[in-house]
């Protein structure tokens, strides 16, 4: 099946071929057909290629590979591959409970109206900090992790709605659903990107060598 | 050489070359999986393509104002 990237590459190549023809033979623009060709090649096609390219870049920025391409995210990428069954990110990633090729984006975009836009703007800020600022040693979330991001998938699921611990106290479920009781910091699902112990384990391994 | 002396065809060639350069940047950044690729695409590729398109439109708008020997070929 032809994907959007293939179509975009085809548009770029066709644009370049048409423009190259005009650059080599500018005299063709003397005719009515040549003027139309010039307008299509120098205006319509580049705008089409540019818009499609921007969309492709935005789509590509959602991939796990893209997020982990920055050095500061290396440990977070490793935390997706640890064998700890209590690690929320690792369990979700390894069991494909989130799309593995969009693992970071799936959990770290907020599922509100402008969540995608906010995530992209923050991404641009991260690039700015990478090149012009100081990258912090420990990456912190801008705001405490909202249960909404978990409930985007878990709400209505039998395992969540009928879970024993979730129903021990009749107030627990409503509190989770209203984000009053955090899934991650209330002591229930607290192992999230345990980068500190991962770094320590790596350090001990290196010492042992 | 001033822009007036270039003639419409010369200006079209310049816009064409600018756009081709922008498209080349876009093509390269598409295969590069890194946030820097997006910056290159936006700042370098976008500027080159934008400049090429605007220069083409400017050439069209000012084409009727001066008829140069180069344009009559």
Q: What is residue B73's predicted lDDT score, i.e. its pLDDT? A: 47
Q: Is the pLDDT of residue A117 over 60?
A: yes
**Does some domain include residue B72?**
no
- Give A190 or B64, the one with higher predicted confidence: A190
Q: Is the pLDDT of residue B6 over 80?
A: no
Provide ipTM, 2 decimals: 0.82
CA distances (Å), origin A71, targets A21, A68, A109, A206: 43, 7, 21, 19
Torsion on CA atoms A31, A35, A37, A40, rounded to nearest 10: -170
**Domain housing B53:** 7-63
The verdict on B10 touching A (C-beta cutoff 8 Å) is: yes
Q: Do A127 and B27 touch (CB under 8 A)?
A: no
Average pLDDT, chain A: 88
Q: Do B22 and A47 touch (CB under 8 A)?
A: no
The verdict on A180 touching B (C-beta cutoff 8 Å) is: no
Q: What is the mean pLDDT of residues A171-179?
A: 93
Q: Which of A60-64, A136-140, A152-156, A190-194 has the highest mean pLDDT?
A: A152-156
- Give A88 or A203, the one with higher predicted confidence: A88
Q: A118: exposed, middle or buried (C-beta count within 10 Å: 0-12, 13-18, 19+)?
A: middle
How many other β-carbons are positioned within 10 Å of the β-carbon of residue A55? 12
Interface test with A, best of B9, B18, B31 (most A CBs within 10 A): B9
- Total structural domains in chain B? 1
For residue A128, name the pLDDT band (cuts at 50, 70, 90).
confident
State pLDDT tens for residues B11-68: 999 999 999 999 999 999 998 888 889 889 999 999 999 999 999 999 988 876 655 5
Q: What is the mean pLDDT of residues A19-42?
A: 93
Q: Give φ, ψ of A95 to 5 degrees.
A: -100, 10
Q: What is the mean pLDDT of residues A35-50?
A: 95
Q: What is residue A115's predicted lDDT score, i.e. its pLDDT? A: 74
Q: Do A50 and B13 touch (CB under 8 A)?
A: no
**Does some domain include residue B71?**
no
């Amino acid at each position: 099946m032809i994907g959007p990237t293939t179509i975009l590459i085809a548009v770029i190549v066709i644009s370049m071929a048409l423009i190259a023809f005009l650059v080599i033979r500018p005299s063709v623009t003397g005719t009515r057909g040549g003027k139309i060709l010039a307008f299509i090649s120098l205006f319509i096609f580049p705008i089409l290629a540019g818009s499609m390219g921007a969309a492709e870049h935005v789509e590509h920025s959602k991939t796990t590979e893209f997020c982990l391409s920055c050095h500061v995210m290396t440990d977070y990428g490793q935390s997706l591959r640890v064998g700890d069954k209590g690690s929320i990110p690792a369990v979700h990633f390894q069991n494909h409970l989130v799309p593995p090729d969009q693992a970071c984006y799936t959990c770290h975009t907020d599922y509100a109206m402008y969540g995608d836009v906010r995530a992209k703007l923050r991404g641009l800020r991260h690039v700015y900090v990478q090149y012009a600022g100081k990258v912090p040693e420990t990456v912190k979330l801008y705001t405490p992790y909202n249960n909404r991001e978990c409930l985007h998938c878990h709400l209505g699921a039998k395992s969540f709605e009928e879970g024993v611990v979730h129903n021990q106290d009749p107030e627990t479920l409503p509190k989770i659903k209203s984000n009053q009781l955090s899934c991650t910091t209330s002591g229930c699902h607290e192992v999230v990107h345990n980068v500190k112990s991962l770094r320590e384990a790596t350090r001990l391994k290196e010492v042992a060598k | 050489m001033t822009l007036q002396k270039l003639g419409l065809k010369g200006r079209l060639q310049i816009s064409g070359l600018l756009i081709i350069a922008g498209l080349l940047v876009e093509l390269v950044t598409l295969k590069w999986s890194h946030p820097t690729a997006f910056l290159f695409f936006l700042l370098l590729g976008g500027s080159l393509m934008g400049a090429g398109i605007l220069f083409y439109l400017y050439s069209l708008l000012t084409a009727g104002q001066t008829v140069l020997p180069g344009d009559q070929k």
